[in-house]
Structure formats: structure tokens, C-alpha cells
Structure 1
Amino acid sequence: MEFLLTEEQRMVQKTIRDFVQKELIPLEPEVLRNEREGRPGISPEKLHELQMKAKEIGFWGIETPEEYGGANLGAVMSAIIAIEIARTFIPFRLGGVADNILYFCNEEQKKKYLIPTINGERRSCFAITEPGAGSDAKSIRMSAVKDGNDWVLNGEKTFITQGHEADFTIVFAVTDKEKGADGGVTCFLVDRDMGWRSEYIHTMGEWGPASLVFENVRVPEENILGEVGNGFELAMRWIGKGRWMIPARAIGSAERLLQMGVDYSKMRKTFGKPIAEHQAIQWMLADSAVEIEATKWLVLRAAWMVENDVDARHQSAIAKLYGSNMANNVVDRVLQIHGGMGYTKELPIERWYRELRLLRIFEGTDEILRRTIARNLIKGHVKIGEIDSADMLARNGRREKVASRS
């Protein structure tokens, strides 16, 4: 059982951490100031410039296959990188990526959508959530009706990340009401200039999702992603792919916040001594450290399973549930340690407080994740007490592959 990072992983971790320290964290005061004054925190042009700087040092398309110019470093490395980037609230992500289901594009679609997205020339958004269909994704109502060689889409999607900035959307619509989600939902690639519009949604955080409105939007048959009726399967592939990445980002934010709590507790004095010497503060710091450590290994195990082609859905649900709550616990404690200063907009803690609350809602609410975990236990999909995943490896035919790496 090996818990040490490889030499390559340590090098990547250090390089990304240095990049965050040098290029991103210094921007935080300006971003906070801009947001307080009602201006965008950071411009898309600046974010693109930062992506190009990261590309110069070799970080482009971390999980993108080599044939598309990516590094294809795998899930564990992606988790390590996500942890490091999340040490700042600057909304930065490495370039050279595309939604995983875009790899199901046919050759013509790859030229028009996949490759331009990887190259940073186009921006996409994933659109399945509707005003009446969030956690219950099978209840989507957006319709797509065949008319000649086109499909006519009507309906609304909501809370769509990058929906206001994207120039095309990966959208899911009902093409057969009788079949429903099991064969009756189809995925379409729809350019903005085909007629859909977006409406910005203001939230308690700085994240700005959007509603997408479709009114008789005509989409040619050639813009179907995959096959008619297999849209829900593609949607679940998208949702399952990134669930464990959310708690990975939570780790980075929580570690940065915990360090702020430690530093402030050693500096701030009450009753003649640093508050770090008060047991109440020590327990907050200790509990936070324990929860961060637990989340780290839950996430890295899920990433390891993904990298070794082991079904990681159950582990990812556990990591997402625990990690999302961990981040909210940590930021609440750190704000409490800072007292009144933590509540002000002079420090980034209150900003993180608002943004981290989202983790318990999107891409699987706490309630849905608990339901998923419980159902897996009740139906026997997972075994209580299973440690080394031997049965899962055997079921997936990966025992020889993993053994050869040991």
C-alpha cells in the first residue's frame, strides 16, 4: 500500500503550486476590489493570458488525449492539480480541455466542436437541468420534434455553468415521450446563432450561471451527438466523470483557509495571549485538519479507481458528500476564528463562505448522494468492509493491470 506521490507527481504539484503563488494569488486584492465596486472580478482576456502562461510551462489539456495535443496525465494527477489551483478563489482553469462526451462526436463534429473547444477557440456549456428537473434529471421536459431534416427544440434549461458565455451548448431534449429517459432523450450540439438565448442568473456567490431559452430553435439532424435516444446515457457519463473533482477543489480551498486560521490565531491576542492557546480555537483547527485529511484520501482513492478503470461511482459519491460538507465546516470555523474581520469583505473568507455553499447543491445534492450511497448498500452493489476493491477489480477485469503496476 503506497501513499507517497511519485517523483513526477511531486514535480507537477510543486510547479502548479508555484504558478498559483506567483500568478494567481497576487490578483486576489484587485479581484475583491473590483467585485466590491460592482465590476467583473477578472476579465476573460486576463484568464486567457494566464492559460497561455500555464501552457508555456507544459500545462495544457491535462486529461486530453495526446492525439488532440493534450498531456493525458490521468485522474490522479488531475486531482492533485485541482487541489493546487483551488488554493485561490481566482476562477482559473487550465486550457486545452473539452467536455468528455464531446469525444463521442463524429469526424465532422470533431472538426466543428471538439477540436476548436480544446484549442480555446470555442466555449461550450452542458445543459440538462431545467426549472422542474434538477436532481431528478429524468424529468426533463424540453422537447425536440422532427421536422424534415431538422429537429425543433422548445423549452428552458437553468443554472447552466458558462451558459451566458458559451457559443454552443450540449443540450438534452425529449424526442420520444413514451420512452422517457430510457431511449427517449437525445443530445444535440446547438450553436448560439441557431437561435437560443441566455439570461444571467444572479446568485449569492460570484458564480454566474444562466438560463437557456429555446423557442422553435431548428437544429439539423447532423448536430445530434451520438444517436437518437441515447442522450441520457451521455448525460450520466458527463455527470459521473467529474463528481470526484468537486471535493478535490474543496481540499485546496480548505487547506488555504485553514492556514489563514492558523496564522491569524497565532497573531491575534485576547486576555494577554494568542488565541491559538485557547482550547476552543485549537479544536476548530484540529477538526478542520482531520476532515481535510479524510477528504484527501477519499478523493485520491476515487481518482485511482477511475484511472484503473474501476467503477468509481460509489466512491465518488462518498467523496463528494463528505468533501462538500468538509469545506463548509472549515470555512465556517475559519470565519469564526477571525471574528468580525472574517465577516468583512476586506478578507476573502466571506467570499469563500458564499461560494463553497454551492458545493452541497450542484452535481449531486447532499440528499441525492445519501440516497445513492444508501441504495448501493441496500441493493448490494457495494460490500460493507471492502477495502482493497479486489472484487471490483475482478469484476472489471483490471486485476492484472493493477498488479503489473505494483
Structure 2
Amino acid sequence: MDFSLSTEEREVRDWVRTFVQRELVPLEQEVLRRERAHQPGLTGEELKDLQLKAKESGFWGILTPEEYGGMGMSAVMAALLEAELGRTFVPFRFGGAADNILFHANEEQKQAYLLPTISGERKSCFAITEPGAGSDAKAIRATARKDGTDWVINGEKTFITGGNEADFTMVFAITDPEKGANGGVTCFLVDREAGWKSEYIDTMGEWGPASLIFQDVRVPETQILGEEGRGFELAMQWIGQGRYLLPARAIGSCERLISMAIDYANTRETFGQKIAERQAIQWMIADSGVELEALRWLVLSAAWQVDQGVDSRHAQSMAKLYGGQKANEIVDRVMQIHGGMGYTRELPVERWYRELRLLRIYEGTDEIQRRTIARNLLKGHVKVGGVLG
């Protein structure tokens, strides 16, 4: 069993690490200043400029198939790159990406939505969560009523990532109440010009989701993505597209945080000794180091399963659960090691503290991951120790 990276994989990872260090880390203080003034960390133009810099070196569409101008990288490589991006809180992402379910669009829809999204001309958002339907996606209440050749959509979506910036949304609505989620939910491509509105939701972190309001929003039948009644299948495909990438980014954050804690422990003195000599500090560093490595291999194992074409949902749930739990424990320890300084805004520890807390909630809460893992084991869908066959 060979855990080493190929020369190409190492070179790609190192390029991204250098990019983060040279282009993103120097922006951190300005990003913090803007965020504290309730401004975006990066403007749209700044993000685009950074993405184009990366594109000059070929980094465009990390997971986008080559036929659409992307790199078509493996899941393992994508996880490694996401970890590198996690080393900074500057809100950067590579350009050239599109939601995986947009690839189910017909040719006309691809020209209007998929290709412009990949090129960066358009911005999308995925809208399924509602005030009364979060983890229980089958409980959605938004409706789409047939009226001639049109559909009329009514309802509210909430906590929609990118909903304030998007110019179109992939919204899920009930089209056949009798069938419910199994055959009665349809996905629609809806332009903002069709009449839906977004409202900003203020959170404890810098993630600014939106509520989307649909009031008699009329769309033609040609705006159905996929097939009528098959929307829930698309929704589950979107949700499971890359759950392993969320804890992958936390790997980089934890690496940076633990390094900060080590540097501080080796310089901070109390009662005539550096605190690195204190057993209490040593144990916090040791536990964090062990948990970081365990998280790394849970994430890479899940990504490897994706590349092998096997059902990786169980492995991804394990990585998501462990990543959310341990990233929060690690940032808490790092804050404790820094003492009062860690609690101040002079250091970015509190910024990561707020950001990493979200990992236990979005894209499937800890409780949902535990439910999934337990169900798989209790029903025999996955055997204990059966990941490698």
C-alpha cells in the first residue's frame, strides 16, 4: 500500500501552497478589516483577478471535465488542493466550476447556464433548504403549479449559499403533492429576472447566506432541469457531490492553527519557563496532531473511494462528522494555548473559531452524519472494518 504522492501530484500541491502563501496570505489583514466593517472580504473583481492569475498556470475548473475546459482532476487531488486553500481564511476558490447537476442540462440549457457559469459570466445557487426543511429535505413545502405551458412557483428557501449574488437558481419545488419527494419534486432553473428576491441572513461567521422568496414566479416548462418529478434525485446528487471537500479544507486550517500554537508555546514564558514545557500544553498539541492526521486519512480515504467509483457516502459521512468535531476541538485548544490573546481580534484565531463552527451544521449536521453512519452499520449496508473490502 503506497501512500506517497506522485511527482505530478506533489508539484501541483506545492504550486497551490505557493500561490496561497504569495497571493492570499498577504491579504489576510485587509480581509479581516473589511469583514469587521461588514464588507465582503474580497470584492467580485478581486476574486476574479486572483482566479485569472491561477488560470495563467492552468488552475481552472479543478473538477470540471476537460471537455468543458476544466482540469478534470481526481477527487484525491481535489481534496489535497482544498486542504492547501484551507491554510488561509481569505475567501478564495478556483474559477471554472459549476454545480455538478448543471451537467444534466439539455443542450439549450447548457448554453444558457452551464457554460456561462463555468466561464464566470453567471452565478448560480442551489435552493432546497426551507425554514421547516433543513436536514429533512423531503419536508420541503415550496410548490410549482402548472398553468398552461408555464409553472408558477411559490415558497421560501433559506440559508442559501450564494443566494445574494446569484443571477439564477436551481430551485426545488413540489409538482405532485401526492407523490411527495419520490417522484413529486422537480428542479427548475430560474433567472432572478423572473421575479424571485433574496434577503441577507446575518450569521456569527462571515458566511452570508440568503433567504429566497418566490411569489407567483412564472417559468416556462423549458426551465425544468432534468426530468419532471426527478428533482429529489438531483438534489441528493448535489448534496453528495463532494462532502469530503468540506473537512478537506479544515485540514489546512488545522495545520495552520496548530503551527501557530506551536510557535506561541515555544516563545511564551510563564514563571520562568516556556509554556511548551508544560505538560498541559504538550498534551493539547499532541492530541491535536493525532486528530489532524486521522482526519487527513479519513478525507483521503473517502476521496479515493470516489475515484474508484464505489459508493463513498458512508466514508464521506465519517470524514464530515470527524472533521467538524475535531476541527472545532483543535481551534478551541489553540485559542486556549494563546490565552487572552487568542480571544482578541488581534489574532485570526477567533475568526477561524467562528468559521469552523459552521462545519458541524451545514451540508449535513453532526446528528445527520451519525444517523447515516449508524443506519449503515445497523442495517448491514456497511460492515465494520469493511471500507477496504
Partners of 2:314 and 2:10 in 1: CA distance? 28
Partners of 2:128 and 2:145 in 1: CA distance? 17
Alignment-derived partner of residue 385 in structure 1: 385
After superposition, residues 83-162 of structure 1 pair within 5 angstroms as 83-162=83-162
After superposition, the CA RMSD in angstroms is 0.7
Partners of 1:387 and 1:189 in 2: CA distance? 38
TM-score normalized with structure 2 length: 0.99
> Shift of residue 13 of structure 1?
0.8
1:328 equivalent to 2:328? Answer yes
Which residue identity lines up with residue 155 of structure 1 in the other structure?
G
Partners of 2:234 and 2:341 in 1: CA distance? 46
> Shift of residue 387 of structure 1?
4.5
Residues 100-148 of structure 1: per-residue CA shift (max 9 Å, x gap) = 0000000000000000000000000000000000000000000000001
1:362 equivalent to 2:357? Answer no
Partners of 2:388 and 2:138 in 1: CA distance? 34
Alignment-derived partner of residue 206 in structure 1: 206
Which residue identity lines up with residue 130 of structure 2 in the other structure?
E
> Shift of residue 54 of structure 1?
0.5
> Shift of residue 37 of structure 1?
3.0
Partners of 1:38 and 1:133 in 2: CA distance? 29
Q: Is the 8 A contact 2:172 2:231 kept in 1?
A: yes
> Shift of residue 6 of structure 1?
1.0
Residues 335-364 of structure 1: per-residue CA shift (max 9 Å, x gap) = 001111110111111011011100000011
Which residue identity lines up with residue 112 of structure 1 in the other structure?
A
Alignment-derived partner of residue 186 in structure 2: 186
What secondary structure, in the 3-state scheme, does the structure 2 residue paired with 1:267 have? coil
After superposition, residues 236-251 of structure 1 pair within 5 angstroms as 236-251=236-251
Fraction of identical pairs, as percent: 69
Alignment-derived partner of residue 341 in structure 2: 341
What secondary structure, in the 3-state scheme, does the structure 1 residue paired with 2:158 have? strand
Residues 139-187 of structure 1: per-residue CA shift (max 9 Å, x gap) = 0000000001110000000000000000000110000010000000000
What secondary structure, in the 3-state scheme, does the structure 1 residue paired with 2:266 have? helix
Q: Which runs of 5+ in 1 are unaligned?
A: 390-406
> Shift of residue 38 of structure 1?
3.4
What secondary structure, in the 3-state scheme, does the structure 2 residue paired with 1:213 have? strand
After superposition, residues 58-97 of structure 1 pair within 5 angstroms as 58-97=58-97
Alignment-derived partner of residue 372 in structure 2: 372
> Shift of residue 242 of structure 1?
1.8
What secondary structure, in the 3-state scheme, does the structure 1 residue paired with 2:240 have? helix
Alignment-derived partner of residue 272 in structure 2: 272
TM-score normalized with structure 1 length: 0.95
Partners of 2:287 and 2:331 in 1: CA distance? 12
Partners of 1:184 and 1:125 in 2: CA distance? 21
Partners of 1:213 and 1:173 in 2: CA distance? 13
Q: Is the 8 A contact 2:41 2:91 kept in 1?
A: no
Partners of 1:94 and 1:222 in 2: CA distance? 31
1:34 equivalent to 2:37? Answer no
Partners of 2:37 and 2:271 in 1: CA distance? 37
Partners of 1:61 and 1:90 in 2: CA distance? 19
Partners of 2:233 and 2:187 in 1: CA distance? 10
Number of aligned positions between the proteins = 389
Alignment-derived partner of residue 50 in structure 2: 50
Partners of 1:36 and 1:105 in 2: CA distance? 40
Q: Is the 8 A contact 2:189 2:225 kept in 1?
A: yes
Partners of 2:118 and 2:361 in 1: CA distance? 28
Alignment-derived partner of residue 8 in structure 2: 8
Q: Is the 8 A contact 2:61 2:69 kept in 1?
A: yes
What secondary structure, in the 3-state scheme, does the structure 2 residue paired with 1:212 have? strand
Which residue identity lines up with residue 388 of structure 1 in the other structure?
L
Partners of 1:366 and 1:37 in 2: CA distance? 32
> Shift of residue 35 of structure 1?
2.2
1:24 equivalent to 2:24? Answer yes
What secondary structure, in the 3-state scheme, does the structure 2 residue paired with 1:12 have? helix
Alignment-derived partner of residue 402 in structure 1: none
What secondary structure, in the 3-state scheme, does the structure 1 residue paired with 2:322 have? helix
1:318 equivalent to 2:322? Answer no
Partners of 1:147 and 1:302 in 2: CA distance? 45
Residues 211-234 of structure 1: per-residue CA shift (max 9 Å, x gap) = 000000001100000000000000
Which residue identity lines up with residue 255 of structure 1 in the other structure?
E
Partners of 1:35 and 1:363 in 2: CA distance? 24
Which residue identity lines up with residue 181 of structure 1 in the other structure?
A
Which residue identity lines up with residue 240 of structure 2 in the other structure?
G
Which residue identity lines up with residue 307 of structure 1 in the other structure?
D
What secondary structure, in the 3-state scheme, does the structure 2 residue paired with 1:216 have? strand
Alignment-derived partner of residue 262 in structure 1: 262
Alignment-derived partner of residue 309 in structure 2: 309
Partners of 2:39 and 2:95 in 1: CA distance? 24
What secondary structure, in the 3-state scheme, does the structure 1 residue paired with 2:4 have? coil
Partners of 2:45 and 2:327 in 1: CA distance? 30
Residues 282-304 of structure 1: per-residue CA shift (max 9 Å, x gap) = 11111111111001000001101
Partners of 1:387 and 1:229 in 2: CA distance? 34
What secondary structure, in the 3-state scheme, does the structure 2 residue paired with 1:97 have? coil
